[in-house]
Amino acid sequence: MQVSLVPHPEFRGEVVTGIDIDVARAAPAALALRYIVRGDIGKLPLPPIANTERADGLWQHTCFEAFLKSGTSGTYHEFNFAPSTQWAAYRFSGYREGMVPAVQIATPAITIRNKGGLLEMEVALDLEALPEIAEAAIWQVGLSAVIEETGGRKSYWALAHPAGRPDFHHPDCLALQLPAASPP
């Protein structure tokens, strides 16, 4: 399914005109994402593509994010993907509490394409190592992006925004229900 992100009303940029995401639960424990950014991509200070490895602080620059929660517990996971193909995964025990690296996650497959007025990032994420997510019938999903423009201005995009400052961890941002993939 394809969903669209909306910019935070107080933190809009001037360069990006829209962000769509193709999102699918390709298997019970697999998440496939394709972020599609439209606008004057040449005005984004994108880093060079690097080795696909873990890195912290990716959200401080252009970064695409996914938040996953299952069940009624407060536990959720945050995934960050940078245009450099660096990535990060964290587990939280509650709202912005108990953050620890989710080290058991396998390195995702990340592909970047920058063509004309489009920036596309494809991510294939294997979640088999997270049984609380992998075995859940329905995932609550939050999808978001931080976009940094040349000069440092940032815009914040999400499926939904709570009142106040941008906060992708807020339960209001987990606005998508994603059921398990149907058997073939």
CB atoms within 10 A of CB 9: 10
Is 63 a member of any domain? yes
The pTM (predicted TM-score) of the whole model is 0.95
Is 78 a member of any domain? yes
Query: 97 is in which domain, residue-wise?
Result: 2-179
Is 136 a member of any domain? yes
pLDDT confidence band for 159 (50 / 70 / 90)? very high
Alpha-carbon distance 154 to 147, whole Å? 5
| CATH at residue 100 | 2.60.40.1190
Alpha-carbon distance 145 to 168, whole Å? 9
pLDDT tens-digit map of 46-93: 999 999 999 999 999 999 999 999 977 789 999 999 999 999 999 999
Alpha-carbon distance 15 to 155, whole Å? 9
Alpha-carbon distance 156 to 178, whole Å? 23
Is 40 a member of any domain? yes
Mean pLDDT across the chain, nearest whole number? 93
**Radius of gyration over every alpha carbon of the chain, rounded to an integer in angstroms:** 15
Is 23 a member of any domain? yes
pLDDT confidence band for 132 (50 / 70 / 90)? confident
Q: Between vectors from CA 141 to CA 137 and to CA 2, what angle results, nearest 5°?
A: 100
Q: Between vectors from CA 172 to CA 170 and to CA 175, what angle results, nearest 5°?
A: 120
pLDDT confidence band for 113 (50 / 70 / 90)? very high
pLDDT tens-digit map of 35-56: 999 999 999 999 999 999 999 9
Number of domains composing the chain: 1
Contact 60, 73 (CB under 8 A): no
Alpha-carbon distance 78 to 69, whole Å? 9
Average pLDDT over residues 23-36: 93
Give 59-108 as a DSSP string.
GGSSEEEEEEEESSSS-EEEEEE-TTS-EEEEEESBTTBS-EE-TTSPPP
pLDDT confidence band for 127 (50 / 70 / 90)? very high
Is 184 a member of any domain? no
